[in-house]
Amino acid sequence: MKSVELRNISHTFASGRSGRGLPDLKVLDQIDLAIEPGWFTAFIGPSGAGKSTLFNVITGLIKPDQGQVLISGEQVTGKTGHVAYMPQKDLLLPWRNVIRNATAGLEALGTPVAEAAERAQEMLGLFGLEGFDEAYPGTLSGGMRQRVALLRTVLLDKPVLALDEPFGALDALTRRQMQLWLAELRTRLGKTILFITHDIEEALFLSDEIVVLSNRPARILRRFTVPEGIGSMDDPLFIKTRKELLDSLKEAERP
């Protein structure tokens, strides 16, 4: 059984501005995709291609005009609560400390505060947040804030995590540290991870496969299985695969 299946997904945003002559905007075009359990799948493509819209469809925040979404074989099109979603911004609440921010999702689902806090406390070490349980977002670095946001997402205990450019706003050094941390964490979590990025090196470093989306309306242009044993950025295999991805992105940017 596949972890995630997208069957013939298409979606158009209506302009909503009658009388102004603005056309509707087709964003997704007949996307078919099946993802294996436990795989890390990165999505890359031109800016504005529809990657975040696709994630909103997968998570049930948007019901597509056409097609079906299946999670672990269950048809969940337009239904939320089956995928844990981390958007681009950490969205931490400044008046809540680390523990209370981490438990915000559980509390929204009705989990008692004390029970949610206990579950979060048990995972602080795994997320490198030990000793920061009482800290507030304003005192944390960008990388620490992202760890809290990811802990909040993981605590929802869904089989699929959808991460929309979680490291995009970080400086280069912090971003690399977070990539190394996530690479180790994913093995321990055993979740299926969907990951949007504009960074080819990041995609190659973290992923089992990379999905290249075309310019809007997005369709799947290519799927790359990341070669086993791919090494550092000066590894000939890394260089070869990166060039193939760059060539695909150039193709994707064509109208």
For the segment 9-36, the average pLDDT, to the nearest whole number, is 82
Residue 18's pLDDT is: 47
Q: Which residue has the higher pLDDT, 60 or 238?
A: 60
Domains assigned to the chain: 4-83+158-252 (3.40.50.300), 89-155 (no CATH)
Residues 95 and 251: their CA atoms lie apart, in Å, by: 46
Residues 77 and 168: their CA atoms lie apart, in Å, by: 28
Q: Look up the pTM and report it.
A: 0.90
Residues 159 and 249: their CA atoms lie apart, in Å, by: 30
Query: In the chain, what percentage of residues exceed pLDDT 70?
Result: 96
